[in-house]
A and B are shown apart, each in its own frame.
Chain A
Amino acid sequence: MLSYKQNPDPSGLHSRRCMNRKKDKGFEICINNINFQRKSVIGYVELTIFPTVMNLNRIKLNSKQCRIYRVRVNDLEAPFIYNDPTLEVCHHESKQRNLNYFSSAYTAAVSAVDPDAGNGELSIKVPSELWKQGDEMKVMKVYIEFSLDQPKGGLHFVVPDVDGSMAERAAHVFSFGNQNSTRFWFPCVDSYSELCTWKLEFTVDASMVAVSCGDLVETVYTHDMRKKTFHYMLPIPTAAPNISLAVGPFEILVDPYMHEVTHFCLPQLLPLLKQTMSYLHEIFEFYEEILTCRYPYSCFKTVFVDEAYVQVSSYASMSIFSTNLLHSGMIIDQTPVTRRCLAQALAQQFFGCFISRMSWSDEWVLKGISGYIYGLYLKKTFGVNEYRHWIKEELDKIVEYELKMGGVLLHPTFSGGKEKDNPTPHLHFSIRHPHTLSWEYYKMFQCKAHLVMRLIENRISMEFMLQVFNKLLSLASTASSQKYQSHMWSQMLVSTSGFLKSISNVSGKDIGPLIKQWVDQSGVVKFFGSFAFNRKRNVLELEIRQDYTSSGTQKYVGPIKVTVQELDGSFNHTLQIEENSLKHDIPCHSKSRRNKKKKIPLMNGEEVDMDLSAMDADSPLLWIRIDPDMSILRKVEFEQADFMWQYQLRFERDVVAQEEAISALEIFPTPASRLALTDILEQDQCFYKVRIQACFCLAKIANSMMSTWTGPPAMKSLFTRMFCCKSCPNIVKTNNFINFQSYFLQKTMPVAMALLRDVQNLCPKEVLNFILDLIKYNDNRKNKFSDNYYRAELIDALTNSLTPAISINNEVRTVDNLNTDVRLILEEITRFLNMEKLLPSYRNTITVSCLRAIRMLQKNGHIPSDPSLFKSYAQYGHFVDVRIAALEAVIDYTRVDRSSSELQWLLDLVQNDPVHYIRHEILSMLAKNPPFTKAADSLLCNEALVDQLWKLMNSGTCHDWRLRCDAVNLYYTLFGLTRPSCLPLPELGLVLNLKEKKAVLNPTIKSEQGPGGPERPGLTVVLAFPTQEEEDIDMDTVHDSQAFIYHHLNMLERPSTPDITLFQLFALIFTGKEPSSVEQAMLSMPGTPMPTLSKESTSSKHGDHHHHHHHHEHKKKKKKHKHKHKHKHKHESKDKDRDSHAFSNSPASGRSIRSPSLSD
Chain B
Amino acid sequence: MADSVVMGSGSFNSGSRSGSSKTSTSPTENYQLARRRTLQVVVSSLLTECGFESAEKVAVETLTEMMQSYITEVGRCAKATCEHTARSTPTLSDVVVTLVEMGFNVDTLPVYAKRSQRMVITAPPVTNAPVVPKALMAGQKRTHPSYIPGHFPEFPDPHTYIKTPTFREPVSDYQVVREKAASQRRDVERALTRFMAKTGETQSLFKDDISAFPLISAKPSAIPYLSALLPSELELQSLEETDSSEQDDQTDTENNPSHIIQDDQSADKENVVLPPGGVVPTGKANEENMIDNPYLRPVKKPKVRRKK
The one of A160, A259, A837, A873 in contact with B293, judged by C-beta atoms closer than 8 angstroms, is A259
Q: Please measure, in the bound complex, the distance between the C-alpha atom of A1076 and the C-alpha atom of B308, giving whole angstroms.
A: 8
Interface-facing stretch out of A403-411, A701-709, A772-780? A772-780
Q: Could you list 17 examples of A-B contacts with CB < 8 Å?
A: A216-B294, A727-B175, A734-B254, A741-B266, A776-B183, A776-B186, A782-B245, A834-B197, A837-B216, A840-B232, A869-B205, A872-B217, A875-B220, A877-B219, A877-B224, A878-B224, A879-B227
Rounded to whole Å, the gap between the CB of A924 and the closest CB of chain B is 22
Q: Is B279 an interface residue (CB 8 A)?
A: yes
Question: Do residues A725 and B256 form an inter-chain contact, with CB atoms below 8 A?
Answer: yes
Q: Is B110 an interface residue (CB 8 A)?
A: no
Q: Is B228 an interface residue (CB 8 A)?
A: yes
Q: Please measure, in the bound complex, the distance between the C-alpha atom of A269 and the C-alpha atom of B228, giving whole angstroms.
A: 11
Question: Do residues B278 and A323 form an inter-chain contact, with CB atoms below 8 A?
Answer: no
Other 11 A-B pairs with CB < 8 A, given A278-B280, A725-B255: A216-B294, A254-B293, A260-B293, A278-B279, A731-B175, A781-B238, A830-B214, A839-B232, A864-B206, A872-B203, A879-B224
Question: Do residues A222 and B302 form an inter-chain contact, with CB atoms below 8 A?
Answer: yes
Q: Is B178 an interface residue (CB 8 A)?
A: yes
Q: Which residues of the partner chain B approach A844 to less than 8 Å between Cβ atoms?
A: 228
Closest partner residue, chain A, to B290 (CB atom) = A259
Rounded to whole Å, the gap between the CB of B237 and the closest CB of chain A is 10
What is the interface residue range for chain A against chain B?
Answer: 35 or more
Rounded to whole Å, the gap between the CB of A981 and the closest CB of chain B is 37
Q: Please measure, in the bound complex, the distance between the C-alpha atom of A329 and the C-alpha atom of B239, giving whole angstroms.
A: 10
With A327-B229, A864-B205 in contact, is A731–B223 under 8 Å at CB? no
Question: Do residues A733 and B255 form an inter-chain contact, with CB atoms below 8 A?
Answer: yes
Q: Is A726 an interface residue (CB 8 A)?
A: yes
Q: Is B215 an interface residue (CB 8 A)?
A: yes
Question: Do residues B295 and A209 form an inter-chain contact, with CB atoms below 8 A?
Answer: yes
Q: Which residues of the partner chain A approach B169 to less than 8 Å between Cβ atoms?
A: none
Interface-facing stretch out of B49-57, B83-91, B157-165, B267-275? B267-275
Q: Is A279 an interface residue (CB 8 A)?
A: yes
Q: Is A965 an interface residue (CB 8 A)?
A: no
Rounded to whole Å, the gap between the CB of A676 and the closest CB of chain B is 24
Q: Please measure, in the bound complex, the distance between the C-alpha atom of A217 and the C-alpha atom of B295, giving whole angstroms.
A: 10
Closest partner residue, chain A, to B298 (CB atom) = A219
Rounded to whole Å, the gap between the CB of B209 and the closest CB of chain A is 4
Q: Is B22 an interface residue (CB 8 A)?
A: no
Mark each residue of chain B from 167 to 208: 1 if its CB lies under 8 Å from any CB of chain A, else 0: 000000011001101110010011011001100000101111
B residues lining the A interface (CB < 8 Å):
174-175, 178-179, 181-183, 186, 189-190, 192-193, 196-197, 203, 205-209, 212-232, 234-235, 238-239, 241-243, 245-246, 249, 252, 254-256, 259, 263-264, 266-267, 270, 273-281, 284, 291-297, 299-303, 306, 308
Q: Is A826 an interface residue (CB 8 A)?
A: yes
Mark each residue of chain A from 294 to 316: 1 if its CB lies under 8 Å from any CB of chain B, else 0: 00000100000010000000000
Rounded to whole Å, the gap between the CB of A169 and the closest CB of chain B is 8
Q: Please measure, in the bound complex, the distance between the C-alpha atom of A228 and the C-alpha atom of B192, giving whole angstroms.
A: 49
With A268-B230, A877-B221 in contact, is A838–B192 under 8 Å at CB? yes
Interface-facing stretch out of A88-96, A565-573, A758-766, A811-819? A811-819
Q: Please measure, in the bound complex, the distance between the C-alpha atom of A605 and the C-alpha atom of B297, giving whole angstroms.
A: 59
Question: Do residues B215 and A834 form an inter-chain contact, with CB atoms below 8 A?
Answer: yes
Q: Is A835 an interface residue (CB 8 A)?
A: yes
Q: Which residues of the partner chain B approach A683 to less than 8 Å between Cβ atoms?
A: none
With A162-B223, A733-B255 in contact, is A738–B178 under 8 Å at CB? no
Rounded to whole Å, the gap between the CB of A882 and the closest CB of chain B is 8
The one of B178, B203, B223 in contact with A779, judged by C-beta atoms closer than 8 angstroms, is B178
Question: Do residues A835 and B193 form an inter-chain contact, with CB atoms below 8 A?
Answer: yes
Closest partner residue, chain A, to B183 (CB atom) = A776
Question: Do residues B266 and A220 form an inter-chain contact, with CB atoms below 8 A?
Answer: no
Q: Is A362 an interface residue (CB 8 A)?
A: no
Q: Please measure, in the bound complex, the distance between the C-alpha atom of A299 and the C-alpha atom of B295, giving whole angstroms.
A: 11
Closest partner residue, chain A, to B308 (CB atom) = A1076
Q: Please measure, in the bound complex, the distance between the C-alpha atom of A816 and the C-alpha atom of B212, giving whole angstroms.
A: 10
Rounded to whole Å, the gap between the CB of B223 and the closest CB of chain A is 5
Question: Do residues A269 and B270 form an inter-chain contact, with CB atoms below 8 A?
Answer: no
Q: Which of A245-275 contact B (CB under 8 A)?
A: 252, 254, 256-257, 259-260, 262, 266, 268-269, 272, 274-275
With A160-B222, A221-B299, A779-B182 in contact, is A739–B263 under 8 Å at CB? yes
Question: Do residues B212 and A835 form an inter-chain contact, with CB atoms below 8 A?
Answer: no
With A162-B222, A1076-B308 in contact, is A221–B300 under 8 Å at CB? yes
Question: Do residues B228 and A843 form an inter-chain contact, with CB atoms below 8 A?
Answer: yes
Question: Do residues B292 and A259 form an inter-chain contact, with CB atoms below 8 A?
Answer: yes
Question: Do residues A279 and B277 form an inter-chain contact, with CB atoms below 8 A?
Answer: yes
The 8 A-B pairs of least Cβ separation, nearest first, read A877-B220, A278-B277, A834-B193, A216-B294, A728-B175, A160-B222, A738-B267, A879-B228
Q: Is A833 an interface residue (CB 8 A)?
A: yes
Q: Which residues of the partner chain A approach B299 to less than 8 Å between Cβ atoms?
A: 206, 219-221, 228
Question: Do residues A254 and B263 form an inter-chain contact, with CB atoms below 8 A?
Answer: no
Q: Is A663 an interface residue (CB 8 A)?
A: no
